[in-house]
Amino acid sequence: MPKSDGRVRDKLPPPLNKMGLFEPYIKDGMKITEIIRFNPVEVFLAGFLPPMFGSITAIAIALIFHNDEISNYNWQCGVSDKN
């Protein structure tokens, strides 16, 4: 196998061995054994979607159950604010 000059990535090892773990490989003189390999899209979705869902749910609950306090609209029969 030709020596890489840093610009070309070496091929990663095959994903799983017979024990269900990633094959260890050598990087910078250290033996690296991966337990889990994350996909950037999965990390983004796990970090973005739950807070987005929680914030939208919190706003919806506030609007449904506390609309009177939030809107600060005080309607009284026969009273006008315009003078």
Which pLDDT value is given to residue 4?
55
Which pLDDT value is given to residue 15?
61
pLDDT, the chain, mean: 78
What token pair was written down for 75? 């309607």
* DSSP labels, 15-69: S--TTSSPPPEEETTEEE--S----HHHHHHHHHHHHHHHHHHHHHHHHHHSHHH
Which pLDDT value is given to residue 33?
79
> pLDDT-derived band of residue 14, with 50, 70 and 90 as boundaries?
low
pTM of the model: 0.50
